[in-house]
Amino acid sequence: MQKLPLTPTLSPNGDAAGGGSAWRADLIGRLAVQTSERGREQLLRRVRTIDRADGPWLDVGNGRLLSFCGNDYLGLAQHPQLVAALARAAREQGVGSTSAHLICGHRTGHAELEEALAAWTGRERALLFPAGYMANLGVLQALLARGDICVQDKLNHACLLDGAKLGGAELKRYPHADVAAAARQLASRAGAAALLATDGVFSMDGDVAPLRELAALCAQQRATLMVDDAHGLGVLGPRGAGSVSGAGLGQDEVPVLMATLGKALGCMGAFVAGPAALIEGLTQFARPYIYTTAMPPALAAAALEAVQLAQADAWRREKLFALVARFRSGAAELGLPLAASASAIQPLLLGSAAAALDAAQALERRGLLVSAIRPPTVPQGRARLRITLSAAHEEAHVDRLLDALEALRLPPASRAAADDHV
């Protein structure tokens, strides 16, 4: 560890406090040291500028890449009906909402979208947020208080973990998908108000939480169950209503449901759906909702169009899962170290950050864009290529990816990384 840059603590008259004997760490300097350390470990994140998107094809500089790393699962992000709805609303209402929902930013388009989302997910009401991260922070900050307990899967998205901390509750985590361990964590604070939060579809592993078992546990323990269905909505369940609906669970079993509009629906934003008492409470107490400008009304109009298409176009889900089956079958023939996922997220487990980065770079040289996911996003030794499929892909695209993966000639040690997957 490099020595942190230090600055003197100054008194009100500008002199070093205590005769120059007291020093503070320089915050920006400390951040620079941490960034440097991450660089040495090959864990730096970099922004890539995309010039133009054409379905799964991305123009980058002078080249064109076939992307397998976006979350546009239904291929709706560039759908002409969404584009037309957005343009029409922008002409009528302008670009920005200009205000928070509770001032004058809540437009007819927002209200219609909330009603449609509530009906689609089988909830009494829904509430829009600008992003999924803000939605989860808002829910957990509003529901939880000091003295409460929040039990979460260890592979939950970062915003669920941050929300529990913001709410002030005691955060207890259980090994991935281990319902018995979740029960033990709840039992450890039997007298405390409790919320159990889980991803519906885990964003890095692609597997689905044991929702029925968790719902039964929460009913037994009188705990509130919250599901983040960012990667399930539009993809799973009847009419694409999500993983909760696919598990046969309703509002009574899962009273707190969050999902996003920026993945399968191809737009941006998020919502929380549940009983009227929940939504009214969030309206009053969820700070990320109260103190944030509402999403542009034109974007709400596009999202409403996406909600309708996602329900009506069942062929999009059918095509997506046919492509998933084709990819998994081909990967099995090649002996590739795939995680056990039946969703659009197909993680190829490679172990080390260097192996994942090398594989991603090799694929890019072949015209394919696949993200190398490394710590701290995933645990040490669990780096992977996060391959995502979309209804915008074709069979020939999947076959091209499989051919490129075969050419990587992954060593046996990389394949072993899949064997201990939990």
79 marked ligand binding residue: no
146 marked ligand binding residue: no
Choice among 101, 110, 231, 397 that is catalytic: 231
Q: Apex CA 237: angle with CA 231 and CA 238, to 5°?
A: 140
Q: Could you tell me the CA-to-CA distances from 3 to 24, 25, 29, 200 in Å, in that order?
A: 13, 10, 10, 42
Choice among 101, 106, 172, 263 that is catalytic: 263
Tokens standing for 106? 């809540």
Distance CA 321, CA 390 (A): 9
For the chain, helix (H) and strand (E) counts, in that order, are 16, 16
Question: Which residue has tokens 């002996």?
Answer: 335
Active site residue 397: no
Following DSSP, what letter does each residue of 305-323 receive, concatenated? HHHHHHHH-HHHHHHHHHH
Candidates 313, 339, 310, 309; CA nearest to 324 is 339
Q: Could you tell me the CA-to-CA distances from 282 to 135, 198, 296, 383 in Å, in that order?
A: 10, 19, 20, 37
377 marked ligand binding residue: yes
Cis peptide preceding 412, ω within 30 of 0? no
291 marked ligand binding residue: no
Tokens standing for 367? 């015209």
Strand partners, 172: 151
Active site residue 203: yes
293 marked ligand binding residue: no
Active site residue 341: no
397 marked ligand binding residue: no
Number of neighbours of residue 186 by Cβ within 10 angstroms? 23
Choice among 79, 97, 172, 203 that is catalytic: 203
Task: Output the known binding site.
Answer: 45, 132-133, 157, 203, 231, 260, 377
Task: Output the known binding site for pyridoxal 5'-phosphate.
Answer: 132-133, 203, 231, 260
**Catalytic residue IDs:** 203, 231, 263
